[in-house]
Amino acid sequence: MKSYDVSHKLNLACVQAIEEAFGREVSTNDIVLQHTRKDFDGQYTLVTFPFTRYSKLSPEETGKAIGEVLQKNCPLVQQYNTVKGFLNLEIEDQVWLDVFTTLHRDKESFSMPSTGKKVVLEYCGPNTNKPLHLGHIRNMLIGYASANLLSRVGHQVHKVNIYNDRGIAICKSMVAWKHFGEGNTPQSTQTKGDHFVGEFYVAFDQAYKKQVEERIAEGKTKEEAENNAPLLLEARFMLRQWEKGDQEVIDLWNMMNSWVYEGFEQTFSRLGVDFEKHYKESDYYQDGKRLVEEGLQQGIYTQRKDGSIWVDLTQEGLDEKLLLRGDGTSVYITQDMGIAEARYQDFGMDRSVYVVANEQDYHFKVLKLVLEKLGKPYGKSIFHLSYGMVDLPSGRMKSREGTVVDADDLLDEMVKTARHRTEELGKVDDLSPAEAETLYHTLALSALKYFILKVNPKKRVIFNPEDSIDFQGHTGPFIQYTYVRTRSVLRRYKGKGFEQSQHTLHETERDVIILLHDYCATLQRAADADDVSIVAEYAYQVARAYSKLWSEVKILNEEDENLVAFRVALSRVTGEVLADAMSILGITMPERM
């Protein structure tokens, strides 16, 4: 809660006013204060319906009674008006000017105190047998931005990644490389490592399909053919060899995975995301077993005749769930239990956030319950930040059908578009080639990141590769452009610094100040809701309000030099808030564009 928070002060004033007017104590939580709609006079509106039962008056009369007391007692309130059950409060301009003076003068005005809470946030979680795609991009952007947001509101955040680096999938790539690779490497073929390995995953699938067809032609049933095609048998054999620790297989596996990691690192860095630690499934997949044994000892889990271990979640409305196979090998959830434990040992976090698509909602419900039943502190700390998957107009992306939107290709495409648009406008023809390239990259990423992050993470999104992503309107580049304007003003201004002002506010000035005033509360709301799109939406509103101000008042060409100093200061703070909000989203601001 900031000392300059007008709505908080108003909230308290309303509580007192209601007590004075009707002799009833109400809680601050009962007060619904909202920003006044544009069509009415005022900046805050109190909804008075809930208080009619105390006042025994009509909603409108209730509002008048409260408004009367507020006008008399509360120095913030200049005037009031009522419309039906809504009491609109007009705040003194000087209040807003004082708020702005604080925002402008006090370097700490947008900082937030440490909460002392440790958060581990996992995102990305790719398989190591193929390159990253649009789904991973959404995951990474949401993950990275959420981590920034949580950190911005005072938590200590650790970003981690999990590599799904073992299993049948990577074995397929390995088998295919042995057969068709001819000893080639990413270096020898000038191919990005993850793409290189991905090509063999596709090659496996094609060769496998061919084998299946041949065997069907030989008179085998479809099922027979699919289950016993030599390539598949070979991949399964390789998986078993891997689990046995066969050195040749392990070496091949290490080599191919290292190619993939190198490729991933390039994409991470291009996208501007990073991790404090990468967990590898292969290092931990055995580790959950001890926890399962523990649960079995405590009688929380049950063992069947075949030796498999299960947890009964029917009381919780779910099913019975397998935790350990009859032969003692672990399943997906077993390893996630182990990794949760490892993570707690590494970081001792208060909260563990998993940024994973909503197709795994059920899995995380189970994981949380299973660990809670064990009484582990990291059980109840689990939060699945479940986001909607990215689909194409034709439905789900399918690698087999080649409809996957590749992350690197999409980035290339965006940079190309940014270059075209920038060259078309011709505003920065004097930049050096290197500066220009940096700018195209900055704009391209802004367009892409904003496009994805402005949507509520929970919603499923449909991405049409045919439609290009906009650079105008409700977009990242528009917000960057607004920032660039504020920078342009600051570059040109040679006058004195702003101290304070007492002028009558222009409507657009008031609108901008109120938005800046709301910044910290908005960040908090976004963090509480684990919804970074709230930050994106806010940045857009600020940019729009400033653009409107730009068109309606003069800044540098205003005659009153105090007013110029004020508007320059307003431009500075606006620019800083825009840059800060966008940096949470992982978007950087150019000085010119």
Choosing from 27, 345, 432, 557, the residue that interacts with RNA (CB under 7 A) is: 557
Choices 179-187, 188-196, 372-380, 465-473; region in contact with RNA by CB under 7 A = 465-473
Among 75, 395, 465, 495, binds RNA (CB under 7 A): 395
Q: What are φ and ψ of residue 499, in 5° steps?
A: -105, -70
- Range 407-436, binding RNA (CB under 7 A): 418, 421-422, 425, 427-428
Determine the interface stretch with RNA among 83-91, 173-181, 258-266, 370-378 (rule: CB under 7 A). 83-91
Output DSSP code: residue 190.
Answer: T
Q: How far is the CB of 379 from RNA (least distance, A)?
A: 19
From residue 241, alpha-carbon distances to 92, 248, 251 in Å are: 77, 9, 12
- Note whether 241 binds RNA by CB under 7 A: no
Residue from 434, 473, 494, 504 in contact with RNA (CB under 7 A): 473
Q: Is 290 in the site for RNA (CB under 7 A)?
A: no
CB 421 within 8 A of CB 398: no
317 binds RNA (CB under 7 A): yes
| Helix or strand (DSSP H, E) at 586 | none
405 binds RNA (CB under 7 A): no
Q: Is 488 in the site for RNA (CB under 7 A)?
A: yes
| C-alpha dist (Å) from residue 591 to 144, 436, 565 | 24, 12, 21
167 binds RNA (CB under 7 A): yes
531 binds RNA (CB under 7 A): yes
Cβ–Cβ under 8 Å, residues 277 and 160 = yes
Map 346-391 to HEC letters: HHCCCEEEEEEEHHHHHHHHHHHHHHHHCCCHHHHCEEEEEECCEE
Residue 161 CB, shortest distance to RNA, in Å, is: 14
Cα separation, 61 vs 30, in Å, equals 19
Name which of 566, 232, 348, 157 is nearest 340 in CA terms: 348
Report 3-32 residues binding RNA (CB under 7 A): 32
At closest approach, how far in Å is the CB of 64 from RNA? 14
85, two tokens: 């059950």
End-to-end CA distance of the chain: 36
For residue 89, give the DSSP letter. E
- Choose, by CB under 7 A, the member of 477, 515, 516, 566 that binds RNA: 477
Q: How far apart are CA 51 and CA 56, in angstroms?
A: 8
Specify the residue, 185 or 558, whose C-beta has the smaller distance to RNA.
558
Q: Per rule CB under 7 A, is residue 443 in the interface with RNA?
A: yes
CB of 18 to RNA, least distance (A): 14
Q: Which of residues 327-366 bind RNA (CB under 7 A)?
A: 327, 331-332, 335, 358-363
Q: From 191, 27, 22, 11, select the one nearest 89 (Cα to Cα).
A: 11
Give me the DSSP letters along 13-79: HHHHHHHHHHS----GGG--EEEPPTTSS-SEEEE-GGGHHHHTS-HHHHHHHHHHHHHHH-TTEEE
- Which 372-391 residues touch RNA, going by CB under 7 A? 388-389
- The least CB distance from residue 541 to RNA, in Å, is 8
**Which of 93, 122, 199, 537: binder of RNA (CB under 7 A)?**
537
Please tell me the count of residues contacting RNA according to CB under 7 A. Answer: 99
Interaction between residue 511 and RNA (CB under 7 A): no
User: Residue type at 165?
Assistant: D
Establish if 257 lies at the interface with RNA (CB under 7 A). Answer: no
Using alpha carbons, list the distances in angstroms from residue 342 to 286, 335, 371, 403: 12, 10, 13, 37
Residue 157 found at the interface with RNA (CB under 7 A)? no
Comparing CB distances to RNA, the nearer of 46 and 349 is 46
74 vs 570, beta carbon nearer RNA: 570
Task: Candidates 69-77, 141-149, 194-202, 476-484: pick the segment binding RNA (CB under 7 A).
Answer: 476-484
Considering only 164, 173, 267, 381, the residue that binds RNA (CB under 7 A) is 164
Task: Give the interface segment with RNA, choosing from 66-74, 209-217, 253-261, 318-326 (CB under 7 A).
Answer: 318-326
Spatial strand order in the sheet of 77-83: 33-35, 44-47, 86-91, 77-83
